[in-house]
Amino acid sequence: MFTRRGDLGETDNGLRVRIGKDSPMVDLQGTLDELNSFIGNALINTQWEDIRNDLIKIQIDVFVIGEDLTAESQHRTIKEEDVKWLEQRVIEYRKEIGKIKLFVIPDGSQAAVSLHMARTVARRTERLSVFVSKQMPLNKYILIYLNRLSSLLFMQALASNKRLGITERIWDINRES
């Protein structure tokens, strides 16, 4: 589908206001779309029902974040309960994983690497949302949600490798090159 309305570098925001495609808000929307695609990739590379169910919910939440941003919270929004759900899921995976060593090298299984890739896009989305929040007010739970989301994706990656019996490779900060 095409409308030709964007041929000169502008697009409609959720409130039907024309804005440049180079605006930080459009960049954030595009990064959310990219995040959702990476989560979809992780979803098809995951064999565990609990992680799959989490990712399905997260994909819907990412759409809600997009709606929250474009409609300026006039419709569905990310709420404190969404953040609390993420926090609870992180706690559950942390129990399963046990002690975590920092500087895990993204490696191991396809499932884990897919989740690490989604995690890095979640971090970029978070950084961009902080940038946008300095230019215009955003729902504070968007920033918190994105911060917790990357933590959850990290835990899911570690859980995936553990479930497959794969030992994480750890970067030794004290080792000389």
Write the pLDDT tens digit of every residue in 115-138.
Answer: 999 999 999 999 999 999 999 889
Q: Are 86 and 119 in contact (CB under 8 A)?
A: no
Give the CATH architecture of domain 14-170. Answer: Up-down Bundle (1.20)
Angle (nearest 5°) at CA 47 between 166 and 141: 95
83-127 pLDDT tens trace: 999 999 999 999 999 888 778 889 899 999 999 999 999 999 999
Radius of gyration of the chain (CA): 18
- The pLDDT value recorded for residue 175 is 64
Q: State how far Cα 135 lies from the chain centre.
A: 21
Provide the 3-class DSSP secondary structure of residue 10: strand
Asked whether the predicted pLDDT for residue 177 surpasses 60, the reply is no
Asked whether the predicted pLDDT for residue 30 surpasses 80, the reply is yes
53-67 pLDDT tens trace: 999 999 999 999 999
pTM given for the model: 0.87
Domains of the chain, by residue range, sit at 14-170
Q: State how far Cα 47 lies from the chain centre.
A: 20
**How many whole angstroms separate alpha carbon 8 and alpha carbon 11?**
9
